[in-house]
Amino acid sequence: METEAPTEVMQRHLSDRHDRRGHPTSDWSARAGGRGFLQRWRRATGGWQQQVFGVDIPGLNWLSETIMQQLPPDTIRLLSSSQTISSVVSVVKELVENALDANATSIEVKLENSGLDRIEVRDNGDGIKSVDTPVMGIKHYTSKISHHEDLEALETYGFRGEALGSICSVAEVVITTKTTADDVSTQYTLDKAGHIIAQKPSHMGQGTTVTVLKLFKNIPVRKQFYSTAKKCKDELKKVQDLLMAYGIIKPDLRIIFTHNKAVVWQKAKVSDHKMALLTVLGTAVMVSMVPIRHHEQEPEIFLSGFLPKPGSNPSSTSLISPDRSFISVNSRPVHHKEIMKLVRQYYSSQSQKDSAHMRYPIFFLNISVPASVVDVNLKPDKTQVMFHNKVRCT
């Protein structure tokens, strides 16, 4: 049996782009004719690649066989890390929560070029023990839990051991730390896998400073996306909103936020949530707020916070966006659609203005529940939670 030359097979099928009923088709490769072409092509070429003939054949790559392969470690790290660390604010959030887990009472956040060039988070916490420094940047090493059962009694912000390792995959990272047991602080430079590649003594006091340089240097599309003027402005606002949330949740926390060496926002240590809200929201808002407290049992739930007074003016107690609607679950700032919906419904029912139902009330809800009845591991950024006993919690 005479075998057609490969180029004859190619030319005949490229020129005939009709199906068996004579209908023209633009996606010939996905039809029976395309599949027949693949079979004849393989017989004619013996499995040679299309580049042998110097012709780009539409659809051939789609039709060719693929073999499952394990991704290289560098690719795996980059793909998983770019989900956990998706923006400037996600870097700040992870580092601030690490500082809070280290019992910090003072946190300074410094950004340069909206965080793309430099992010620095400095705290006065416990520092990182010398025995832990070799693995502090390696993924899935953590001192916060040992087994998944520990999530039932979780008291820390972090628990996955991913933050520093993920940041190392998408940026350059330098960590300076000192504990009470150390004579001097030490500065560590990490590689993209989180391993220490250099270290030297430093002059900094107790605590930890994490410096992140050239964020998204190996993800050019994302870096370009966040380089626009609008995105830079949006990220700065998100960072400020995040720090405000922690400033309210942690009244005794001192925060300074600077951008390009100019102070953007700061908060001093205060005595309670009311004073923290006064610092963040201002007197004009707080005079129109009323405190709330509620306690449930089985499971034990403590609810406290501040809501707008019934009949208060929407212009001073609400916004067109939820930027000043603060929800905290076990001291963790979260977004919760059902709780937000309930508060908005309550606010609308108490307001004398018809437009109130279209706005978001300014409020703070602090919800404390046993760790065993809430799941905080729904999203990489841990900003969404699920209550096991949804009806009683909402």
- Note the pLDDT tens digit of each residue in 38-52: 566 455 555 544 444
Q: CA of 73: how far to CAs of 91, 212, 216, 300, in Å? A: 22, 22, 18, 45
pLDDT of residue 199: 96
Sequence-ordered strand ranges (E) for the chain: 106-112, 118-123, 172-178, 185-190, 196-202, 207-213, 254-259, 262-267, 289-296, 301-308, 318-319, 325-329, 332-334, 360-361, 363-368, 374-375, 386-387
Q: How far apart are CA 324 and CA 319, in angstroms?
A: 8
Whose tokens are 């500065």? That residue is 187
Q: How far apart are CA 334 and CA 343, in angstroms?
A: 15
Token representation of residue 180: 């009470």
Contact 217, 172 (CB under 8 A): yes
In this structure, the strands spanning 332-334 and 254-259 are unpaired
Tens-of-pLDDT digits for all 394 residues of the chain?
Answer: 555 554 454 455 444 455 545 454 544 444 444 555 556 645 555 554 444 444 454 554 544 556 777 667 766 655 555 556 889 999 999 999 999 999 999 999 999 999 999 999 999 999 999 999 998 888 765 654 445 554 555 566 654 567 888 899 999 999 999 999 999 999 999 999 999 999 999 999 999 999 999 999 888 888 888 889 999 999 999 999 999 999 999 999 999 999 999 999 999 999 999 999 999 999 999 999 999 999 988 778 899 999 999 988 888 899 989 899 999 999 999 988 889 999 998 888 887 666 666 789 999 999 998 888 887 766 666 666 777 765 454 4
- Taking CB atoms within 8 Å and a gap of at least 24, the contacts of 278-285 are 279/247, 280/244, 280/247, 280/248, 281/324, 281/362, 284/316, 285/316, 285/317, 285/362
Domains of the chain and CATH, by start: 6-63 (no CATH), 74-225 (3.30.565.10), 283-393 (3.30.230.10)
- Note the pLDDT tens digit of each residue in 95-111: 999 999 999 999 999 99
H or E element that contains 148: none
Token representation of residue 372: 């065993």
pLDDT of residue 83: 54
Contact 140, 161 (CB under 8 A): yes
pTM for this structure?
0.75
